[in-house]
Amino acid sequence: MNKLIYLDNAATTRVLPDISAAMSPYSEELFGNPASAYTFSGNINCKVDEARRVIADFIGAGPKEIFFTGGGSESDNWALKGLAFSLRDRGRHIITSKIEHHAVLHTCEFLEKIGYDITYLDVDSNGFISLDRLEKAIRPDTILISIMFANNEIGTIEPVKEIGRIAHEHGVLFHTDAVQAYGHVKIDVNDMNIDLLSVSGHKINGPKGIGFLYIRSGIRIEPLIHGGSQERGLRGGTTNVPGIIGLAKATEIAGAGLADRADYEIGLRDRLIERIEKEIPYVLLNGDRRQRLPNNVSFCFRFIEGESLLILLDENGICASSGSACTSGSLDPSHVLLAIGRPHEIAHGSLRLTLSDETTKEDIDYTVDSLKKIITRLREMSPLYEDFIRKQEAAS
């Protein structure tokens, strides 16, 4: 194994040196608790305020609408549970989709257990929810619509602005999990009618364990983490200063290069998709071709199983992920692939490759060349492929 080809940037990303450098003074030197009274801490508090403003500006929000959390999952949990509790006298119905991240889906399942009613919208074969069905699902007791900005497995970008418009026409709040979209596509919470938005730092070259929830001012929400008066009394816990500084720096860097980086990644993404479709038979692209995250490539390779594929890619120095049951630790393949209509046996053969601006054309070509060899090898071993070829021969 020579070079590491990291194509799992939707799982996590590396912290860039500039971001580490921005964070490092806040551990050993400027370690003070920003809530303390003395000047030493007060100065640190100013830095946190600055960071909050950078982030707010990036999504067109106000600094008082940004609430730091421990990451994307906490933000999703807070948005759903916090509103379910604060609005419980108004209604107990929430609308979401079948392809949400587990941080949303499992939270919804929990809310169902304690008496809430959840509608899980279907998606079409490209992963889009139907705006028509969304509107029809709204009831007088609907308190929240939670639909992800972009899907983490198949990269499809949902019609967020339209979803928000429909929500607001019916007086319903709109939350979106933007963990995969933030820093990759332009987000404006006002233009896109977003009331709450979840973000995680480590998906955009920031540190792990930090994220935020944008909450439009005027919305009443119960805290998820009760405690001190941090985050305007809505999220207890000593302020994660290095994390916040890192998240702001990551936002600054991602924001400044957003368009160029997207162009670069889309070029590589489409080259990867094109080569796979041209050079490997019996493959299915998952997700929409155009309304797609710049860095996401997702395929199902028929007649093979994803874990075998991942281990052999690993042997070639390539890091990737799969939605097969064996890689999820459960017996069912990815709920997202099933929701877009992939049969179980095809969903087991899925592969997700997520690029970064550090990925090169050479990396892409090496990956396709490796994939071709590995897929051929696994298909030669596969009884499903054998049966398929026999049937084809019999038919011709």
Partner 1 sequence: MSQVTEYSEKVMDHFKNPRNVGEIENPAGVGTVGNAVCGDIMRMYLDIDDKGVIRDARFKTFGCGAAIATSSMATELVRGKTVQEALEVTNKAVMEALDGLPPVKIHCSLLAEQAIHAALWDYAQKNNIKIEGLKPPVNDINETKEFYEMGGK
**Chain residues in the site for partner 1 (CB under 8 A):** 303-305, 307-308, 310-312, 314-315, 324-327, 329, 331, 333, 344-345, 348, 380-386
Q: Of the two residues 88 and 106, which places its CB atom closer to partner 1 in the complex?
A: 106
326 is an active site residue: yes
- Closest approach of Cβ 346 to partner 1, in Å? 9
- Closest approach of Cβ 303 to partner 1, in Å? 7
- Closest approach of Cβ 387 to partner 1, in Å? 9
Give me the helices (H) in 127-220, please. Answer: 131-137, 160-169
Across-strand partners of 177?
198
3-state secondary structure 14-61: CCCHHHHHHHCHHHHCCCCCCCCCCHHHHHHHHHHHHHHHHHHHHCCC
Beta-carbon contacts of 189 under 8 Å, excluding residues fewer than 6 positions away, are 59, 60, 61, 65, 195, 197, 214, 216
Q: Of the two residues 188 and 386, which places its CB atom closer to partner 1 in the complex?
A: 386
Q: Of the two residues 140 and 329, which places its CB atom closer to partner 1 in the complex?
A: 329
Beta-carbon contacts of 65 under 8 Å, excluding residues fewer than 6 positions away, are 56, 189, 214, 215, 216, 217
Q: Answer for the pair 32, 26: CB distance below 8 angstroms, yes or no.
A: no
**Which H helix or E strand runs over 98?**
none
Q: Of the two residues 192 and 304, which places its CB atom closer to partner 1 in the complex?
A: 304
- Closest approach of Cβ 283 to partner 1, in Å? 16
- Closest approach of Cβ 307 to partner 1, in Å? 4
Using CA atoms, how far apart are residues 322 and 327, in angstroms rounded to an integer? 7
Q: Which residue in 108, 300, 319, 326 is the catalytic one?
A: 326
Give me the helices (H) in 205-240, please. Answer: none
Q: Of the two residues 203 and 302, which places its CB atom closer to partner 1 in the complex?
A: 302
Q: Which residues are catalytic?
A: 326
